[in-house]
Structure 1
Amino acid sequence: MRPYECEECRKSLNSGPDFIQHQIILTREKYNKFKESQKAFTNASRFFLNQNIHTSEKSFKGNYCVREFNNGTALIRHQRIHTVEKLYECNECGKAFSTSSIFRVHQRIHTGEKPNECKECGKAFHHSSYLSQHQRIHTGEKPYECKYCVRAFSNVSAFIRHQRIYTGEKPNKCKGCGRACSTVSILTAHQRIHSGEKPYVCKECGKAFRQSSELTQHQRIHTAEKPYRCKECGRVFCCSSELSRHKLIHADEKLYECKECGKTLSRDSVLTQHQKIHTGEKGWECNECGKVLNCVIYLTWHQ
């Protein structure tokens, strides 16, 4: 069966380009016979669109669904949804696309072109949808609400990732060990455990990391940046995990009590280290000089 059938003359054609050429021929014939409009048209495509304004007809119908279109070009674009025909291939990366508009947007990744600029802050994007998503930062709009909790999100991808906390969905599986991850980015970071890849390198000292967040946290050693501030006492920290541990100091309830002296501590790991004072145990040995210390932090400082 030939997938492209002309509704005008019932002629069937084998491919999209042949169908387009056939429609051009018909359009030219209609143009020559056309007397309804007194407008002058510079080409057959503008003429044909104008004729549809007069007739309000949608004469182009595909074989895959019930949708109808008022010009052959629109039908061809739509049919590619069904046929997965991808005529536009990127010379840079080889990726192919079904429409020229999507193809042009993709090319901006390689050219660096970002024509969609935010009027509020000047940040630019290569696609208008990314600009719309960004503008919600300024407007505060969060249209995607979680049905399980009170959280709302400005973009759909963050919303989907959040939902997986409750659904437990982990659709991204590691081929190396079978571990499932909730997002592609988590899977990518996990796979570097197997490959040993550490693409994020510190320009100051050359140390490499698997994740960009690890590099960002590490760089604060060099910059001395401490963006996380405790609201209770004003103390600042370089990472959120350190702030979370610190906040336990201000908590009313201290969960871990030493049976020897009655001292209460905020974490079980701190209690374990504290108890070595009473037992005399020194469990952390330096590989360089053999000195033994009773706290891993002291060992780190010593080394």
Structure 2
Amino acid sequence: MSDLDVCRIKNEEEETDPVKLEETSIPETTPNSIKTCFSKTASKSFLCPHCEKVLGSKCSLAEHIRIHTGERPHPCPHCGRCFIRKSRLTEHMTVHTGERPFACPQCEKSFRRGAMLKQHLRIHTGERPYTCPQCEKSFIHEANLRKHIKIHTGERPYTCVQCGKSFIHKHKLDIHVRIHTGERPYKCVQCGKTFNRQDKLAAHMRVHTGQYPYTCSQCEKSFAKKATLKIHMKIHTGEVSRP
């Protein structure tokens, strides 16, 4: 037998080695069958059979597949909320403990998560890394960009079941629904007056505190509400006549 034949046989044996096939094959996708995470080199990759996303390790694949299966094996002992990853549970626990370990070096504001601090720091640096491809308006948070883009697409996915009016943002729908329910959850601690929106309560509180934070750039007259300032500015632009 020639040296070439020996090498050919050895290569065929390596290709059919069950151990090597097991290392490179995609693991079972049922939640109970994926229990152990093995360290892999950077060249290894694992394909999700549900959405074809490529993951770098069996551990990452196992956690990712829970998005599809709905498995959330890490419950909070305080409120029962469950999480896909243990790291998410650890972050959530700070809600109950009050711990805010990530402090801003600029203003000393603190946060529960490092990612929240990173986003906050953009207020100080002026960084706005998420830019709208339609109008080039930029944002600190990616979520705000996604919401903004709906202005261009005309998408209004949140519809009131009472009157059919639709909204770009869910929180706008939540506020609108209070018109139908009569709910006014924001109460003034000074006089007991209630409001359906938090910003309306904040504006009302200035009646008690005497704050007038909105100042006219033309005559320096100040107002408690931004809307009142806008109405006043029409006097200077000539849109309305002076009383």
Q: Could you say whether these structures have the same fold, taking a TM-score greater than 0.5 normalized by the shorter chain as the test?
A: yes
Distance 1:155 1:18, change over 3 A: closer
Tell me, in whole angstroms, the C-alpha distance in 2 between the residues paired with 1:209 and 1:235: 27
Tell me, in whole angstroms, the C-alpha distance in 1 between the residues paired with 2:137 and 2:53: 40
Contact 2:45 2:54 in 1 (8 A): no
Q: Deviations over 1:265-285 (max 9, x none)?
A: 26xxx7xxxxxxxxxxxxxxx
Instruction: Give the superposed CA RMSD.
Output: 3.0
Tell me, in whole angstroms, the C-alpha distance in 2 between the residues paired with 1:180 and 1:216: 26
| 1:144, distance to aligned residue in structure 2 (A) | 2.1
Q: Tell me which residue corresponds to 2:74.
A: 88
Q: Which has the larger radius of gyration?
A: 1
Distance 1:66 1:199, change over 3 A: closer
- Uncovered stretches (5+) of structure 2, i.e. residues with no partner: 1-20
Contact 1:7 1:59 in 2 (8 A): no
Secondary structure in 2 matching 1:7 = helix
Aligned AA for 1:239?
A: K
Tell me, in whole angstroms, the C-alpha distance in 1 between the residues paired with 2:135 and 2:116: 26
Secondary structure in 1 matching 2:22 = coil
Secondary structure in 2 matching 1:157 = helix
Contact 2:214 2:225 in 1 (8 A): yes
Q: Tell me which residue corresponds to 2:17.
A: none
Q: Tell me which residue corresponds to 1:73.
A: 59
Contact 1:7 1:61 in 2 (8 A): no
Q: Tell me which residue corresponds to 1:141.
A: 127
Tell me, in whole angstroms, the C-alpha distance in 2 between the residues paired with 1:223 and 1:186: 28
| Worse overlay, 151-160 or 87-96 | 87-96
- Uncovered stretches (5+) of structure 1, i.e. residues with no partner: 1-5, 25-47, 256-264, 271-303
Tell me, in whole angstroms, the C-alpha distance in 1 between the residues paired with 2:126 and 2:69: 40
Contact 1:174 1:191 in 2 (8 A): yes
Q: Tell me which residue corresponds to 1:231.
A: 217
Match status 1:199 vs 2:185: yes
Q: Deviations over 1:227-281 (max 9, x none)?
A: 0011111111111111111112212x446xxxxxxxxx26xxx7xxxxxxxxxxx
Tell me, in whole angstroms, the C-alpha distance in 2 between the residues paired with 1:160 and 1:14: 32
Distance 1:67 1:210, change over 3 A: same
Contact 1:170 1:181 in 2 (8 A): yes
Match status 1:121 vs 2:136: no
Identity percentage of aligned residues: 36
| Worse overlay, 90-99 or 226-235 | 90-99
How many pairs align?
Answer: 221
User: TM-score under structure 2 normalisation?
Assistant: 0.77
Specify which of 167, 172, 197 is matched with residue 186 of structure 1: 172
